[in-house]
Structures are given as structure tokens and as C-alpha cells.
Amino acid sequence: MLNWDDPIESIKQKQVAVAAEATATMPPLAADPQAQPALDAEKRLLGGSDLTANIAPIKYRWAWDAYIMSQRNFWLPTEIGMGEDLMSLRKLNDNERHTFFTTFATLTTADALHQRNLALAVYERITAPEVGMAVIAQMHQETIHSMSYQHIIESLNFDEDEIYLLYQRVPQILAKFEYSNAMTRGLQGNNGDLKEYLRGLFFYYMIFEGVWFMANFCPIFSMQRRRLMSRTGEQLQYIARDESGHVAFGRSLIWALWQERPETRMEESEAHALMREAMELEEAYASYTIKPMLGYDIELHRRHVRYLANRRLLDLGFSPIYPEAEAESLPWWEEQIGFRKEKNFFETRVTEYQTGGALSWD
């Protein structure tokens, strides 16, 4: 037992002795003494052992960081009051109402589709534990996004069938989802072609989330900046922040796979072809969805989508497909998705919960 009247050096020695006694030691094991397991070397992004379960030592630091960040960014959509938007709905003109409902309905279905893609296709082939954890964290975030959409639907008394089934009645929305489902089929199956798997990853992370999703937030963000549908816009800001993290994870995953499996690397012509196909679908969709509003129209939307397409290609070392004169980011885009909520604790309810510490297993 420590006696605080003892000299400092004596106390330190006793503390070390107590710590040594408390340290757990592994009992003798009937194992092969010649075996030299190299835990780090056994890890593979794809095609590793199904028995690889050791998180530490961390081999894919970018994946572990993505997992930790997702835990820090936990938020609850039900803590955002929607009463203000009930009043905003009455103020929307016909163009604003059309743009809001078609955009919102597309987002609700797209998020559900992406949950399915992560669960049935992306995660299935991942064998590195820390990478799998990051993908599972993304699945959880997608369920929160679906919860957010449902919270908005219930709070604003929307017709659920009108929202969730709109894609079945609008060919331009349906075409995007059918194309996405075809890409999911290319991702599925542990014994499938690895190049097809990489094509699927490129589509879902860089196009579906990185271009389509990010662009679809913008019409409602534009309304939010005019104090219309502000609480819906706030929910979408949280979702956009999560999706931005998913895109960064997808970029790192694709680069890492190219390094481990060089034969899966995409040719620039292939990446350009996929992006152009997706942009044709987006153009048709936007022409139906985006109606002229104060501060937002189809031309602004088109230029921003092209900017996002160029940016995703550059992220992976490919050249852009649109000249700078035709691709320009919305001036307020970074502000909208890079926001940090600051609230008076005594005047509002806490929406997001962040932890200050994180495990370090180096």
C-alpha cells in the first residue's frame, strides 16, 4: 500500500511494482513454438483469410480514421424541430414546391438503395477488419439518414407513398435507379471479377455519392439560404457531411486496392465513359426536377454537377472531362457541407454528440 509520507522516488518504485503485478499475462499455450505469425502481413483488403479478425496492428490507417470520425459525428434527426418548415411549405410557389418534392423524394429512395449496396455488395468482399468496421459504420449512418427522411415526412404530414414511390412514376428518376441496380449486381459475389468490383466501387463512391447525391442536396440548400425549408436543409447538412466522409473513404479504398491489386486499375478512358453515362442520366433527371427559383436554376445546377464530376475524376488521378468554363462550383457549396453546428445549450436541444478522445493502437 502506498504511503504518501514516503519520499517521491520510493512512491514511484511502489507504483511500478503494483502495475507490474496487475499486468495480465497469457497462460502457457500448446502452440507451435516455431510459428511466427505476421499479423499485419496477413491482412488484405480483398481475398484475405476469413479468420483474420485482429484490428491491431492497424494496417489501413485511413479506414480506422474514417471509422473513428463516423463515431464522433453521431447525430439524431429527431432532435431537430420541424415546425418552422410547416410554415415554409405554405410560402413555396409552384416551381419551388415541384423542385423540393422531387428532390426530396429522390434522396429518400437513393439512401435506401445505398444501404442495400453497402450491405450486399461492398462489405461482402472486404477481409481487413478495420476496413470492414468503417463500411459497417457507413451502413449505420445511412440508417440514420433514412430515419431523418422519415422524421421529415411525418413532421410535415407528407404522403408516404407520394414520396417513396415517386421514382416509379417518373422515368428520369427510375432510369438512375435502374442503372444503379445494374452496378450493384456487378459488385456482388465473392468470386466475381475484381475489375467489375472496382468499377462498382468507382460508381457508388465517386458518382452515386460523390456527384449525384452531393448535387441533389443543392436545390434545397438554396431554399434554406433564403429561410425556406430551413430545418429540412439542416437535416441535409448533417447528411451531406456524412456523405462527404463516405466519398473520402471510397477514394482511399480505391487507391489502396489499386496498390495491392494493380491489375484492377481502371483506364482513364473507362472512368471517363462511366462518368459521361452517369452525367447523361443526371442531365435528364435535373431537366425534369429543377425549375427556375430565386437564386437557383438549371444552368447553375448543371455547372455545379460538372464541377463535381471533374473533381471526382481528379481525386483518382484522371483528367477532367469538362473545361473549367463549363464547370464551376456554387459559391456557397463548401460552406453548406463544411458547417459546424454551434448551439446554445439552454435554448435548444442537442443534435449531435461528439466524443473528445479516440483509441490509439499504434
Phi, psi of 52 (to 5 degrees): -70, 110
Distance in angstroms (rounded) separating the CA atoms of residues 292 and 95 = 6
Q: Which CATH architecture has domain 60-69+84-341?
A: Orthogonal Bundle (1.10)
Q: Do 290 and 315 form a contact (C-beta atoms < 8 A)? A: no
Tens-digit pLDDT profile for the chain (362 aa)?
555 455 556 655 665 555 555 555 656 655 565 655 555 557 888 877 766 778 888 899 999 999 999 999 888 898 899 999 999 999 999 999 999 999 999 999 888 887 877 877 788 888 899 999 999 999 999 999 999 999 999 999 999 999 999 999 999 999 999 999 888 776 666 566 888 889 989 999 999 999 999 999 999 999 999 999 999 999 999 999 999 999 999 999 999 999 999 999 999 999 999 999 999 999 999 999 999 999 999 999 999 999 999 999 999 999 999 998 899 999 999 888 875 554 443 344 444 544 444 444 44
Q: What pTM, to 2 d.p., does this model score?
A: 0.83
Phi-psi region of 330 (alpha: psi -120 to 50; beta: other; left: phi over 0): beta
Domain positions in the chain = 60-69+84-341
The tally of CA atoms less than 13 A away on the side-chain side of residue 172 is 16
Q: Which helix (H) or strand (E) holds 166?
A: helix 166-169
d(CA 38, CA 110): 41
CA separation (Å) from 305 to 126, 185, 215, 285, 300?
Answer: 31, 26, 6, 12, 9
- Residue 162's pLDDT is 93
Rounded Cα distance, 348 and 358, in Å: 27
- Given the DSSP bridges, would you call strands 352-353 and 74-75 parallel, antiparallel or unpaired? antiparallel
Predicted pLDDT at 144: 93
Q: What pLDDT score was predicted for residue 356?
A: 42
pLDDT for the residue numbered 343: 47
